[in-house]
Amino acid sequence: MYKFFLIIVLLTPLISGTSGKIKGRVIDSLSKEPIPGCIIYLESTDYGTLVDNEGHYFILNVPPGLYNLNAQIIGYNKYIIQNIEVNIDLTLTINIELQESSLELEDIIIQAPPIAKG
């Protein structure tokens, strides 16, 4: 029993975490409804995710440090939070309320060339 306890105590520092996690929920600022499909990412990294149908997102295994968190989807203003700090073995919760964009996208119409009958 003593040897088992000693092994656990000695191995604990080796298996402790080396990264953090970011989670949260993305909703419309007026309706308070979730915004599924919104892209959430950390600038200048490969870390990011999509918001699920209930508006939740998770970014796992983020190395400790300072990051700019971005949220964007067509029809809403881009949202940026600068200098968020990710710490080892901690979960940072960032809930986001996006505002609808006043910018309207124009229609793009492309005509295919006529098919030659032959």
pLDDT for the residue 86: 96
Q: State the pLDDT at residue 37.
A: 97
Check residue 5 and give its pLDDT. Answer: 44
Here the tokens at position 109 are 């119409």
Residue 74, pLDDT score: 92
pLDDT of residue 26: 98
Query: Which residue ranges in the chain fall short of pLDDT 70?
Result: 1-16, 103-112, 118
CA dist., res. 49 & res. 55, Å (int): 12
Q: For position 10, what pLDDT does the model report? A: 47
Look up the pTM and report it: 0.74
Q: Report strand pairing: 79-86 vs 65-72.
A: antiparallel
36 vs 33: CA distance, rounded Å: 9
Nearest to 72 by CA among 94, 91, 49: 49
